[in-house]
Structure 1
Amino acid sequence: GLLEALPDEVSPSGTLITGGEALLGEALATWRTAHPDVTVINAYGPTEATVNCTDFHIQPGEPVPSGPVPIGRPFWNTRAYVLDNHLRPVPPGVTGELYIAG
């Protein structure tokens, strides 16, 4: 978990940016208890994009969601679409494939 990966002597004092794999709220909650004043940014970027292209900010004092932490909104000059198998946008809450443009 984050407590093992980020012991107190290397924990950030202002902002923690996570990425590389799905972040679960349960994994973050205990760490946030020990570091309540740190802003957490969950960054997302598929291998095909080679860089992060979305992020979700959790400000100090905000509750940590349970389950997967959202990947957030696209960066400036980037668009994210959730499309069906016919490349049509799906309604909010409907499962589809994530497409990144920019």
Structure 2
Amino acid sequence: MKEITAKELEQKLTAGEKLNIIDVREDVEVATGIIPGAKHISLGQIPDRLAELDKNEHYYMVCRSGGRSGNACQFLIQNGYNVTNMIGGMLDWEGEME
């Protein structure tokens, strides 16, 4: 599984790269802040919402600490998606939030 640190992802965002970020945390967690431009699909909803994801795109998966996003990555990889896990999750995120 491909991995990226929170700092590396923040640098890509700051550089203006077009990123597809999926936050798999629960609603109550996302209410405390989300990476600007990230799409919220809680982990349990991913199997039902695969149609929203394009297999030709690359996705960065985010959760609180990197565990659930790692599980999401494994599921998506098995289904033919190109994904990278943000290790350390939002606990390591120091960038802007909305």
- Work out whether the TM-score is over 0.5: no
- Name the one with the larger helix percent: 2
Identify the structure with bigger relative contact order (alpha carbons < 8 Å, sequence gap 6+): 2
- Highest Rg: 1 or 2? 1
TM-score for both structures, normalised by structure 2 = 0.33
